[in-house]
Structures are given as C-alpha cells and as structure tokens.
Chain A
C-alpha cells in the first residue's frame, strides 16, 4: 500500500460548490444583518443625533466609492462570461480591473478615515467623549465598525480574486471548471450589495 497515488476524494461538482458559496453568503448576510439591526435600534433611539452626525460624512467620496464598486461588479460578471467563451486574456483583464477598483476603493476609504481621525473622530478619542452627544458617539462607533468590517471583506475579496486570477493564468480554472471564478464573483457581489445598503444609511439619510 506504499505507492498508492490515487487521490481518494478527487471529484468536481460545480453545483455543490455554488450551493456551498450561497450558504456561506447567508452567514455573511446574517453577520451584517445583525449590525443593521443594531443600527436601526440606535437610530430609532437617537434620531436627531444620527442626523447631526451623518452630516459630517463626505457624501462625494461615498458616492464615488459606490459608483466604482458597481462598475467592479459589472467587470467581474463580464469576466465569468469571458471565461465561458474561453477568452483567457480578457478574463484576466476584467478580473484585473475588478482588483484595481477594489484597491482604489480602499485608498478612498483610507483618506476618508484619515480625515475623521485628524478631526479627532475615532472610537475612544477624547474629542468624541467631550464634544459629542451619546447618539453621535454611537453613530461614529457604528460607522467605523460597519465600514471597517466591510473594508475587511473587500480585502478578503481581493485575495480571493487574486487567487482565482492565478489559477486562471495557470489553466486550473477554465471554461469547463469555472465554479471558483463564479464563486469569487458571488462573493464580490455580496460585498457590493452590503455597500449599497451602507452608503444610504450612513451618507445619504442626513
């Protein structure tokens, strides 16, 4: 029995991996869902303070980020079609665009957060405790938690896309075996749709 090279568990089931991804997306939705519940509870309790604090956020940067994230969802969806048509260079190009947009999103986020930090608005800061009401502190607490967790998901999505690109380049993901690329697309859409809810709740309802 020393030389058995047979891999006992080598089977490919695209349907199974997609079901698995959808189930995982359920768990992510619940994770953020609870945060949205907390948001709505505290918004209800601190109505005026949330209005006041939301005015501090930079709607323009938020809108730009929304726009480019939507574009990136389009490009990753197109990359799936490109792979199905066996067009490897185009798949890689579209994935590359998605990746770059994700990085741009994070850069915008960095400057946005940086500006808040410069004004002394961050959890646990003295300015926050001294000058703002409890409702405003909660608003910014939720803002940093939810956009921070979302940014973390963007980073995970970027790693996912990078791995898939590497596998596409090496021919391990191809038209006949595309579930991994489709799953990375699903995940990226999830990250996108969460932002679609974050953006109006924090930036637009002023």
Chain B
C-alpha cells in the first residue's frame, strides 16, 4: 500500500492530480472537493436569493408601489422561490455535507460512483445557468411562482421554457446524487460497520436518497408535460382541450411535498450528530430516530393533497390527507423529544454549533406546530394563501434546513478547512441572525391570521405595522448573514489551525486529520463489536 500512503501525504485541499488550479476542482472526482464545489455554488445562489428576498421585503415596507410594480414583484418571488428551492435547499445538506462526510463516516475512500458524482454537480451548474438564462434573455422573467401552476405556466408570455428545463435538470442532478448515496451506503461500509452502527446523519441521508430517487421523476415528467404543453399544445393540462389543471397540482405536489422531507431529513440528521457531541452523551433513542426518519420518508409521500384543500377535492380525500398530515407530525415530535432527552444529564459544552442546534429545535417546533394549523381542514380554509403560509414555510424550510445548515457548517468547518473560526464572532453572527429571523417571519403569522394574502406587492393600510416590523427583521437577518459569511471566509484562510477532533466527537470523520487526506484513511478502519458512533 505504498502508493496509497504517498497520495495521503497531502490533504485534499493541497493535493495536485492531473489538473492544476480551477480545473483541479471542476474535474475532480474527489467527494470532498465536490462537496465544496456544491458549497460555493450554493452560497452564491443563496446570496442571490437573499437579495431578492430583501427586495421583496423592501417593497412591502409600505402599501402601494415602493420600489417595484406588480409584474416585477411576481417575477421576484418566482425567481426567489426557484433559486431557494431547487438550487439551495433541495441539494442542501446532502450535496455539501453528504458528499463531504458520507464516505468518511462509513469508512470508505469515496462514493460508489465518483464520476457520476461529478456529473451531478455539472448538471447542477447547467440547471443553474439555464434558469439564469430565463431571467436575463427572452420576453420576460418567469412570473408563475416556483410552483409553475398550470394553466398559467403555459399561457404566460414570459420566458418559461429555460426555467422549466433548468428545474428538470436540477432534478436529474438530485436523482443521481441520491442514487450514488444509496449504492454507497449499501456497498461501501467498512468492515464491522453494521446498519445498527451507522451514524444518524448517514441514516437520514439514506432516507433522503430514497425520496430523491422515488419522488423526483414525478416532477420531472410533470415539468416535461408543461413544456410540451407550451411548445405543441398537447392538451394534458389545458382545460380548453379537455385536460385538467388540477391534475397538474396533484402531480406537482406528489414530488414537492416529499421534497420538503428531502430538505428537512438531512437537517435533522446533522442536528442528531451535533447534540450528542456537545452533550458528550449517547444519543437518546438511536433506534427511535432511525425509525422516525424512515416513517417520515414513507408517510411524507402520502400527504401531498394538503396543499390543495381549496383546489377542489372530494371530502373523503380531504379527511385522509388531513389525517395523514397529522400523522407526519408524530415522528418529527419523537425526534425533538430524543434531542431534548439527549441533553438531559449530559455534560453540555456550549459552542456555536450547539447554539445553532438548539435554536433549530426552537424554530422547527414553531414551524411544525403552525403546520398543524394548516393541516386542519377548517383552519386551512381560513388561512389558505395568506402570509401565515409564508411564515410557516419559512420557519420550517429556512428555520429548519437553514439553521441546521449553519449548525453543520460551524460543526464541520474545522474538519473541512483544517482551521477554526473566530468563535466570538460566530456567536455574534448567530444571535443577530436569529433575532433577525424571528423578527422577519413571526409577524407573518399575525398578518396571515388578519387576512393578508401572500404574493401581492400591495396591501391594505391595517397591515402596515406588521410589515414594517417584518422588513426591519429582514435587515437584521441580512446583517447576521454577512457577519457569519465574513467570519467563515476569513477563518477558512487565516483561522488558527484546528485539531483533529476539536469537539471530542465519536463518529469516524473525527478520526482522520483535519483537513482529511486525499483518500481519507491510510487503512480502511474496522469497527469492533462494542464500538459505536455515540459511545461516550
């Protein structure tokens, strides 16, 4: 094994293979470099999305036209949604931390199909450029909302086709990543690493990969049908030709509801890693967390109808969808219970990732409970299509996945870059960001209950107060975001060198140097019978 060790003398950041410089990255099949490629491209797209979000909040600062008119506002929330959903939170934690950590956590040198992995990132970039092309060229920026609802999506004069094909390709990228992870987890676990010894982040990646694989094709074909409808008028979703636009909504949500679990499951996995490490205690209810992960992945398929309670559906169907929606809350609550119980009698080490993790639990619970309001049939009719929905959605997706992402980046940062960030500034960034988040989205619940509809650039005078507060919150949040980013970027270059295991974690990635060598391990590790990912 001489050659392996020779390769492993360099860490993955410094290693020089066939290509130098930029090409050494965009042609690299190293899962760690691909993870970082995703991180950088997603950070860029996230920043664009944040800017669009800020523009929307600025528009809503006062009733009437503030900085843009109705059409521009429609385009802005469409692009904000498409970018944030398809380019940021759906690839989300699996694409960045899954790619970086999955092979290390299961004691492998790489994923099962490294070239396919790189191809997934290229598809991602191709999808991004296609969507951006829709914004910059052609007859106008898409204005359908990120849901591309028929029949408007094939009637509107704006430049829909590149956006739809872009979303399709992004879906393809997601499928390939899921496929890769599934095969990797099945085939490449190191000796002795039984399923019952996998770390929970790997388990959630496993559940997520199945959803990616089995739900994404549905939206893929649905988007193709919308494109064909636009191009040739095939009639599937066109009521004038006998088609049914409600069918579009069903097909769209058959994917897009499970997609919410694609976003949140790996986030829960990251939290399940962070809480035991900073409590220095075995995770409470390891098997319950796995079972609830799989339960969420499964039941999450069967609840799509709750997006369509007012769209026209039989009463019986509504009862079932509402009941199943309530059922999904149970496994999520089990997880929260497990995280809290893990902290009980632990020796808690309060650090930045832990702050992010506990604030994740807080906002996730508010998001989850407000979801039950929406899942209840009668209440749903009342707050349907109001700012309440926007508040709920952002508490879950931004508060859930976003906070978990920041928790994860602060947790694994020393492993990824081999340097430690400035902890004081990281804590300041967290508190400013969290205050901004709560100020931005909490008023939306109130505004929604008062009846302010979503997706309008204008509102009645009585909603003014709440909107001012919300816009003010968006500025605080942006300030926090800038502090976090500046601190992390600066520390990645100039932070002090990190140890191999700064948080005293027990999972496999903490047994390799920071940053990890090219092939992760000099020798493939063997897991003994009494070893485990959380044996403190």
Residues of A in contact with B (beta carbons under 8 Å apart): 1-2, 4, 6, 8-9, 13, 15-17, 19-20, 23-24, 26-28, 30-32, 34-35, 38, 41-42, 46, 122-124, 129, 133-135, 137-138, 141-142, 144-145, 149
Contact = CB atoms under 8 A, between A and B. Distances in A.
B236 A23 contact: no
Given A13-B187, A27-B175, A145-B236, A1 B213 contact: no
B234 A144 contact: yes
Nearest to B111: A9
Taking chain B's interface residues, is the majority helix, strand, or loop, or is none over half, making it mixed? helix
A13 B225 CA distance: 37
A117 to B, nearest CB: 12
A124 B154 CA distance: 13
Nearest to B234: A141
A27 B217 contact: yes
Given A9-B110, A17-B113, 12 more contacts: A2-B16, A8-B109, A9-B114, A16-B183, A23-B179, A27-B214, A31-B218, A41-B244, A137-B241, A137-B242, A138-B236, A145-B236
B114 A123 contact: no
B242 A30 contact: no
B138 interface: no
A16 B243 contact: no
B7 A6 contact: yes
B220 interface: yes
A141 B241 contact: yes
B267 interface: no
A123 B232 contact: yes
Candidate in A9, A16, A123 with the most chain B CB atoms within 10 angstroms: A9
A139 to B, nearest CB: 10
Contacts of B485: none
Contact of A35 (B30, B110, B182, B221): B221
Contacts of B242: 42, 46, 133-135, 137-138
Contacts of B6: 4, 6
Nearest to B187: A16
A4 B109 CA distance: 17
A15 B113 CA distance: 12
B509 interface: no
A20 B116 CA distance: 11
Contacts of B345: none
Interface of B: 3-4, 6-7, 9-10, 14-17, 29-30, 109-110, 112-114, 116, 175, 179-180, 182-183, 186-188, 213-214, 216-218, 220-222, 224-225, 228, 232-236, 241-244, 247, 251, 518-519
Contact of A8 (B14, B30, B112, B218): B30
Nearest to B218: A34
A134 B241 contact: yes
Contacts of A32: 221
A26 B247 CA distance: 22
Contacts of A141: 234-236, 241, 243
Contact of B110 (A4, A8, A24, A38): A8
19 contacts: A1-B10, A4-B7, A6-B3, A6-B7, A15-B187, A16-B183, A20-B180, A23-B182, A27-B179, A34-B222, A34-B251, A122-B232, A123-B232, A123-B235, A124-B232, A138-B242, A142-B236, A145-B225, A145-B236
A123 B241 CA distance: 10
B236 A38 contact: yes
A17 B29 CA distance: 17
A138 B240 CA distance: 11
Contacts of B247: 38, 41
Contacts of A42: 242
Chain A to chain B: the 3 pairs with minimum beta-carbon distance, closest first = A134-B242, A141-B234, A124-B233
A28 B175 CA distance: 11
B141 to A, nearest CB: 26
Contacts of A124: 232-234
B382 to A, nearest CB: 31
Contacts of A1: 9-10, 14-16
B225 A20 contact: no
A20 B14 CA distance: 32
Contact of B113 (A20, A34, A134): A20
Given A2-B16, A6-B3, A41-B247, A19 B241 contact: no
Nearest to A29: B217
A28 B217 contact: yes
A30 B218 CA distance: 7
Nearest to B10: A1
Contacts of A35: 221
A138 B213 contact: no
A97 B218 CA distance: 34
Given A4-B7, A16-B112, A38-B236, A9 B241 contact: no
